[in-house]
Structure 1
Amino acid sequence: MKIKSPEFGTVEVADDRIIEFPAGLPGFEQCQRFALVHEEGREAEVFLLQSVDDPEVAFSVTAPARLGVNLEFVLSDEDMALLQLDDAGKIDEVAVVIIIRSQKSEEAGPAGAGLSANFMAPLVINTRARLGMQKVISRLGCEITLRQQD
């Protein structure tokens, strides 16, 4: 399948690489199919989560560990059903990524310039079934551990 990406132009993505977000993402409920793309020839530290349904919708994502963060949270029975995870022990089938955004100083002022990461709404993806959801954490009932990078 060919998808259009504002960042990479037209990209060929195999149908079996599409990730479905049955509920969409908050604010982008109409976008339910996404592909993870990155620049060819480079090790991917940051991926572009590109909507297949709307080429104008794309998010930069990375693993929390890339930013020195360890996230631990609980998935509800409804979350597990949505992701088709029948065994909580299959952690190797689950990927967690966070949406990151680069903020220029003219957008956020000098104190807010830099990288912004949404740790309170990680994306959880069942890599086997290629199903995903955004887990909105309304209160800090999860563990967030910040590590210094070596």
Structure 2
Amino acid sequence: MIINTKYLGEIDIKKERIIKFKKGLLGFENLKEYVILNLPNNEVFQCLQCIKDPEVAFIIINPFLFFKDYDIEVDNEELEKLKISDKNQLALYNIVTIPKDIKKMTANLLAPIVINVKNKLANQIVLENTNYKTKHFVYNETKEVNENVSSK
């Protein structure tokens, strides 16, 4: 299946890679199908690309690469909605905002994206009773991540 993307132009993806969001992303509730794309020469950041609208794409991270103490609990109701019966089926991502001054890059730790990697169902959840915010600076954590990735 050929799709147009914001960062990689026209690409061919397999339909089984499409992730279906039950409610869409916050602010993009009407767009429910996305694919995760690897970015060239980058082992840390990925792109969550909308299938239907090439201009809708989000840079995402595995939060545990940057925030070692990131600790959230996905409630049972959410796990049931996504048909997650085993924690190994769960993948977690966070959207990052990268301004011109990269030192001001932030990650939204308050509203992670939860994906069932087996059946490709997903939701963006908003955490309750937490100190996490929509903007956590990433730059302070970047040096350690770069050193870890380079040592592989």
| Normalised TM-score (structure 2) | 0.79
Distance of 2:27 and 2:5 partners within structure 1: 19
User: For the Cα contact (< 8 Å) 1:98–1:121, is it kept in 2?
Assistant: yes
Residue equivalent to 1:98: 94
State the alpha-carbon separation in 1 of the partners of residues 103 and 43 from structure 2: 24
What TM-score do the two structures reach when normalised by structure 1? 0.80
User: What is the 5 A alignment of 1:63-82?
Assistant: 63-82=62-81
Q: Residue in 2 aligned with 1:39?
A: 39
Q: Which runs of 5+ in 1 are unaligned?
A: 106-111
1:64 positional shift: 0.6
Gaps in structure 2 of 5+ consecutive residues: 133-139, 148-152
Size of the aligned set, in residue pairs, is 137
Structure with the higher fraction of residues in helix conformation = 2
CA distance in 1, matches of 2:47, 2:125: 19
Q: How is 1:1-150 mapped onto 2 (pairs within 5 angstroms)? A: 1-40=1-40, 42=41, 44-85=43-84, 87=85, 90-105=86-101, 114-140=104-130, 149=144
RMSD between superposed Cα atoms in Å: 2.4
Query: Is residue 125–residue 133 contact of structure 1 (8 Å, CA) maintained in 2?
Result: yes
Is the Cα contact below 8 Å between 1:73 and 1:141 reproduced in 2? no
Matches of 2:105 and 2:72 in 1, distance apart?
23
**C-alpha distance in structure 2 between counterparts of 1:61 and 1:7, whole Å:** 13
More relative contact order, 1 or 2 (CA 8 Å, 6+ apart) = 1
Aligned-pair CA distance for 1:114: 2.1
- List 4+ stretches of structure 1 deviating above 3 A: none
2-side partners of 1:44 and 1:130: how far apart? 22
